Each structure stands twice: as C-alpha cells, then as structure tokens.
Amino acid sequence: MTEQLTPSEVAELMEMLDNGRNLFGQLAPDLRARLSAAADNPSQITWDGAYSIVLTEPEGKTLWQALLEHTDYNITSRGIDALWPVYPTKEQILHALRAELTPTRE
C-alpha cells in the first residue's frame, strides 16, 4: 500500500522545507528531494536516504531526532547496514517536519 502525498500535503511540505536550515544555509535541492521522497513514499530505501538529514540550525536536529521527539516512532537504533525494523509513516514524517519547520514552533 502506498501512502503518497495529496496535492495539499505536497504544497505544505514544500513550504515547510523552505524553512529548513543546516550549517550550509537553506536545504539543498538533493536534501529536499530525499525528504520529499520519504514523506511521499515511505519505505526502507527512502527512509534510509532521509533519516540523517539535518533540519535545523544551530540545533543540528535530524529528521530521525525530530521523529523521536514529536511522534510515537520509537526506533532508536539499528545495526550497521541492517534494515530498519520499522520505518516511519507518512503521517509521522509530516508531523515531525511540521513540529520542526513551522515558524510558530515552540
């Protein structure tokens, strides 16, 4: 079953990603693409490509850290080169991104 984003979710995601910052400034196009892919089609491959992307500066918080902080996603480790026991859902990814990249966050 695919969990693809609706057109309104895509628009919201693009706006949130505009607010993302890392040590180099705004999120680069390849990072935005990897985050979008993880939200649009959650899978082992897309999650593995996005979990370590830094979303905020100066905090340096990654997508994985945001998920652990703001959702019920509770996978805190995995073996090197191992599959993720569970990857997050579209809803969990969007919730974590909203929490970190919405300007009114606290």
Tens place of pLDDT per residue across the chain (106 aa): 457 899 999 999 999 999 998 888 999 999 999 999 999 999 999 999 999 999 988 889 999 999 999 999 999 999 888 999 999 999 999 999 999 998 764 4
Q: Residue 70 corresponds to which tokens in the numbers above?
A: 């703001």
- Specify the amino acid at residue 20: G
Contact 43, 55 (CB under 8 A): no
**Residue ranges in 57-101 assigned as alpha helix (H):** 63-70, 90-101
What's residue 73's pLDDT?
Answer: 97
Contact 39, 49 (CB under 8 A): no
Contact 57, 24 (CB under 8 A): no
pTM for the predicted model, two decimal places:
0.90
Residue 30: CA count within 13 A, CB half-sphere: 1
Q: What are phi and psi of 25, to 5 degrees?
A: 105, -145
